[in-house]
Structure 1
Amino acid sequence: MDGPSHFHTQKGYELAGGSPLTAAMEDYLEMLCRLCGTEGFTRVHLLAERLNVQPSSASKMVDGLKREGLVKAEKYGLLRLTPRGEEVGRYLLYRHGVLHRALCLLNHTESELEQTERIEHFIDRRTVENLARLLERYDLPPR
């Protein structure tokens, strides 16, 4: 059994992980990646609408993503992902897809969106890759 010094609170694990992105920032970046995927840009009001938040909240979060170098704002309210934002966003979409497929397989359902959204921020890359390999064995292609 692990000794007492190996246990932390959720916040403790987050702080130890060293990622500058919070779970909320990941949610916004993931949605930005979805929205920018078709035309290469989106707007704050569309982001807010898709995440069911107020535009002022979305604007504040976009400011944080800009500070992290993941998003840039342009004339006329256009939002675009930076190359780094695209890279991180694509991984977040991949992680979401792998976890969603695994949960649907496990629970014999068509959608496990809520569970996926709750879990995806707390799973590491190694586990995501191992889940992807497991899904390949079940011959479940990405959705």
Structure 2
Amino acid sequence: MVEPTSAARRAAAFRRMRDARSSQVAEDYVELVGDLIAETGSARLTDLADCLGVAPATAAKVLQRLQREGLVDVRPYRSITLTEAGERMADASRERHRIVHEFLLALGVSGETAEADAEGIEHHVSPETLRLFASMTERLRARG
């Protein structure tokens, strides 16, 4: 087997990062839609835009993409809802966030910093690393 060149490895890593960024936006939106529905009973375009600090037109564009991907249902003059696939994505994102957050806390990171760092890490961590974070969290807590 021929080993990929350094440039090919970097190109593959850049592709993975671009894909992760695209997925991160989708995960943030579906997670927020679910949170808004749980907290207020509905999720509206203006609520999403306000919470995310983006223009309503930007939020609308992302919602159109998420609707094409089968993650949300958006009907004019109605609340935004999650599809089953959107709910699964939101749940998975919340679980990754929880695991990363608890791992950082077990390391001794402050609550505020752990929350901020977990928000970024959760979208880029591999399943293998996530399993190790969960395992190490248990070990660190058992020592404490």
Give the TM-score taking structure 2 as reference length.
0.77
Q: By how many angstroms is 1:39 displaced?
A: 5.5
Q: 1:27 — aligned with what?
A: 28
- What residue identity is the alignment partner of 2:16? Y
Q: 1:13 — aligned with what?
A: 16
Q: By how many angstroms is 1:32 displaced?
A: 1.9
Q: By how many angstroms is 1:48 displaced?
A: 1.4
Q: By how many angstroms is 1:123 displaced?
A: 0.7
Deviations 1:38-92 (A, max 9, x none): 4663111111121122222111111111111000013523100001110111000
**Aligned with 1:131 (options 130, 133, 142):** 133
Q: 2:107 — aligned with what?
A: 106
Matches for 1:50-69 after TM superposition, within 5 Å: 50-69=51-70
Whether contact under 8 Å (2:93, 2:123) holds in the other structure is: no
Q: Which runs of 5+ in 2 are unaligned?
A: none
The structure with more helix, counted as a fraction of residues: 2
Q: 1:97 — aligned with what?
A: 98
Q: 1:70 — aligned with what?
A: 71
CA distance in 1, matches of 2:43, 2:91: 16
- What residue identity is the alignment partner of 1:62? L
Deviations 1:17-47 (A, max 9, x none): 7x7x532222222222222234663111111
The alignment of Structure 1 onto Structure 2 pairs a total of residues equal to: 137
Residue 11 and residue 74 in structure 1: after superposition, are their counterparts in 2 closer, same or farther (change >3 A)?
same
Q: Which runs of 5+ in 1 are unaligned?
A: none
List structure 1 segments (4+ residues) > 6 angstroms apart after TM superposition: none
Residue 14 and residue 35 in structure 1: after superposition, are their counterparts in 2 closer, same or farther (change >3 A)?
same
Q: By how many angstroms is 1:139 displaced?
A: 4.3
Q: By how many angstroms is 1:134 displaced?
A: 2.6
CA RMSD of aligned residues (A): 2.8
Whether contact under 8 Å (1:104, 1:110) holds in the other structure is: yes
CA distance in 2, matches of 1:27, 1:3: 34
Q: 1:47 — aligned with what?
A: 48
**Aligned with 1:116 (options 97, 112, 118):** 118
Give the TM-score taking structure 1 as reference length.
0.77
